[in-house]
Chain A
């Protein structure tokens, strides 16, 4: 299987996208592997990179939605001390994993919209087209997604540490 359709940096963003949607590393890897096995040969048919990106993002999303029947595994505790701005890689790693968990728990299309917005794989116009909504609706969706994510992460920080 070839995986040379994208530069490494873009490829990494798609991996992050899969992780944010699935909420766990193993599932993200499987989603990426299965999706690439399915669409890698089709990607060459698209003349511009945006179309290739859109194709891959759409298929990753579809596959994640299909696999999302089971609930996500329990999230680990948020360990970072808010006063510490330059946390150790270990602590940040757990935060990233927690973030993926919280993203995974968001409803659709908020989850996909916010993930792709942060990953900056598409312009706002392209993102609206990809999600088949107007730019204004996308704006509303992003606003709602931010609020849900903020609430979810705040609840995690304020809850007592697990023993």
Chain B
């Protein structure tokens, strides 16, 4: 598998010549200003110095400016699909705006060969009062088509957007999905040489999204090159063969999509793992605060009872909760609820000893309750755990919320986080029969 990936990565440089480059980005940098007042003033300043024909000293930063993009270099070949990934604010959209000639680079240069169309501009120029028909003409005209070309494609656009019955109604009466479909249909039917797609594959319902992806594959076969921007790597994995990873305005890495996406995911999901302690110690409670059993600590132990600093996926671990028991109780159970921070704190695991038929009788003093997880199925990432110690039927002694811990990829192993929701223990084999 690994060798295959590396072969793919080397193909473009060998097989493709200089002739085939449709878009070349060379050492491009762009600066922005965070202060609006200053930003507007700088705009006027730039216009004036440009009109004087002089140098604007665009390579130096003025007060309150920062580099939104720095030294970006890559090439796009005919028929190639390139994915731009990076967190919000990494400079992806800024880069697209420079490529489409909307704004000027402050350093470096961009060379474009052929017609370039942005799929950023869904419904740019739509006027809500006018009908869908009128808006198709206006919108596609803005995207650079002549009236003749629009007339030729008109029926295709309407069919693709699936709004035949509403075509003569004002766009303001459309549902948001219909308007988005119409915008996408107009943009995709401009048939450019290079298509810039900025997180627009999220329009419409699932069926329409699938239709969009199919359409993209179809026009790519005709030789159209793509640049696809997305912060969800799944879309990029399915369409692009090359990817560029932007981080804080710089190209962190570029190359084969699989490798780049893996690196991005690890950065994104595991950036906090190192900073997590994986254990928590609570201060002793005063007598009037206690209701009989207090949680003193929570941590993970290995097979030999040692507290572990790094928790690895697939490892055998014990999740342990320390208790300070003030008087004996019977029929105690505990539960822990684990939420995945990379999935907006969705609960991914809810363990409850009562459901598993385990009730405990505790005696006075220090004790530790343990649950063994023989093969940790949580995928790499940062999680929070809520721990409850309860006596049947409903008396809760103590609660610890948001105990943060991280799960890491074991050294020397590979795991695509985006494509695996959990870790499945497995054994591979080959048998003759």
Partners in one complex: no
Interface of B toward A, CB cutoff 8 Å? none
Instruction: Using CB atoms and an 8 Å cutoff, list the residues of chain A in contact with chain B.
Output: none
